[in-house]
A and B are shown apart, each in its own frame.
Chain A
């Protein structure tokens, strides 16, 4: 299995909702990432988990809460988001110097 999967593909939520994005990989990679990508822009790094521990938080607002329950799974919990948080959220994993990206979750905040 050489892929990163993400669910859901699309998500629409109100500003008072709580939702979660899920990412999974079975390549044995020990580093996992969350990126945010706005239209026609490059991905922006949000969080990095290394060996299931949060190693990088790029000053992301607390309304985004990452979680790494095990080495294969990465979640991003969302609460009280703003319309400007609407974007494509990409998950990636790596072992060494190559990141494998998932297909992303298209998030719309109303």
Chain B
């Protein structure tokens, strides 16, 4: 069975600085997707970034980028120029691609609570 591990329950960053959130996963599959979701206190889960395992290039979305190390099964999220609005719970998630489409097999890590200090 696949597992996702986020080893940092809480992280803190100064506004405008850079922070990296860690995520490791375990799988025997070669084709899958990885995601970072953000959940602010307002509760809504928002997709931050996604990575397809067969793509070697690391995904980027504005200030958010990932360091995807497939062999090491590592998928960290880097937030540059941190803003107060980035404060939230961040969940790393894994999804198999074997079913040819999303079938609800999102496996979440336990989350990292990010605080941003002004």
Q: How many residues of A contact B (CB 8 A)?
A: 26
Q: Which of A42, A45, A100, A106 contacts B111 (CB 8 A)?
A: A42
Which residues of chain B are near A95, meaning CB under 8 Å? 102
Binds B, one of A20-28, A48-56, A76-84: A48-56
Stretch of B13-21, B22-30, B39-47, B77-85 with 4 or more beta carbons under 8 angstroms from chain A = B39-47
B108 touching A31, Cβ below 8 Å:
no
Determine the distance from Cα of A40 to Cα of B35 in the docked complex, in whole angstroms: 19
B84 to chain A, nearest CB (A): 21
* Cβ–Cβ < 8 Å partners of B109 in chain A: 42
Indicate which residue in B37, B44, B47, B113 contacts A103 across the interface (CB closer than 8 Å): B44
A97-B33, A97-B50, A104-B43 as given contacts; A33 in contact with B104, CB under 8 Å: yes
23 contacts between A and B (CB under 8 A): A31-B102, A33-B104, A41-B111, A42-B109, A42-B110, A42-B111, A43-B45, A43-B106, A50-B103, A55-B104, A56-B103, A56-B104, A94-B101, A95-B102, A96-B101, A97-B95, A97-B102, A99-B47, A99-B106, A101-B44, A101-B45, A102-B44, A104-B43
